[in-house]
Amino acid sequence: MRVPRIMALAPMIMLGALASCSTMDDTPSTLTSANTVKPPTCDPKTTCVADGRMTGGGNTITVADGVKITKGFTLHCDILLSNNLEINWPGGNNWHLTKPIESATCVDDPAINPEPPPAPFDTFFGTATGSLNGVEGSFIEFILIDAGEPGGKNDQVAIQIHTGDASTPLALDVPLQFTTGGNIQAHYDQPHK
């Protein structure tokens, strides 16, 4: 099995609390390794009720080559709720979430304080399929970390966008790094009907 590079870049997570939801079977998440939490699998129709969400926007300038990536999102730990994710980078490139996210693992790392405001978690591991430059079927893996305020100094992001499914080449590879502008914010979720 090919191991995506994002797996090696994921931070060591000290498991404080874990809320997870996935449509996958017992196949290990591509975001897990010996240094990360392995998200459990579950039936999203019955056992995946998490009460957190992450919102944010802004930019990240990649450490390796100085490319400016912008992002905007509202992502729920409960994958059955409405989620939005958009990523743009130079050359007119864009990725948009067009289907429900496939997996979400929300972790409370005791070494990270997302306040203010208080939140039930600080780190969001996710996978999804969406459109890359208007073409459906592009797989994304991402890590978003809310490390308090001000967001641009402390928050972190990692993104891998594939040209197709998870076995295809990468269209964008942003290693785990601090954001350079904007904010990533974890929240308690709002009531949904």
Residue 45 pLDDT: 42
Q: Among 31, 56, 164, which residue's Cα sits nearest to residue 107?
A: 31
CA angle 93/173/7 to nearest 5° reads 145
Residue 151 pLDDT: 64
Count the neighbouring beta carbons within 10 Å of the beta carbon of residue 48.
20
Residue 98 pLDDT: 93
Listed in sequence order, the residues at least 6 apart from 193 whose beta carbon sits closer than 8 Å to its beta carbon are: none
Identify which has the larger pLDDT, 61 or 165: 165
Q: What is the pLDDT of residues 3-55, one digit of tens each?
A: 344 444 444 433 344 444 443 333 333 433 333 333 444 444 433 334 799 99
Contact status, residue 101 vs residue 88, Cβ threshold 8 Å: no
Count the neighbouring beta carbons within 10 Å of the beta carbon of residue 134.
7
For residue 154, name the pLDDT band (cuts at 50, 70, 90). Answer: confident
Residue 192 pLDDT: 56
Provide mean pLDDT across the span 160-189.
93
Q: What is the pLDDT of residues 92-145, one digit of tens each?
A: 999 999 989 999 999 888 888 888 888 888 999 999 999 999 999 999 999 999
Identify which has the larger pLDDT, 192 or 152: 152
Residue 30 pLDDT: 40
Contact status, residue 73 vs residue 49, Cβ threshold 8 Å: no
Residue 191 pLDDT: 65
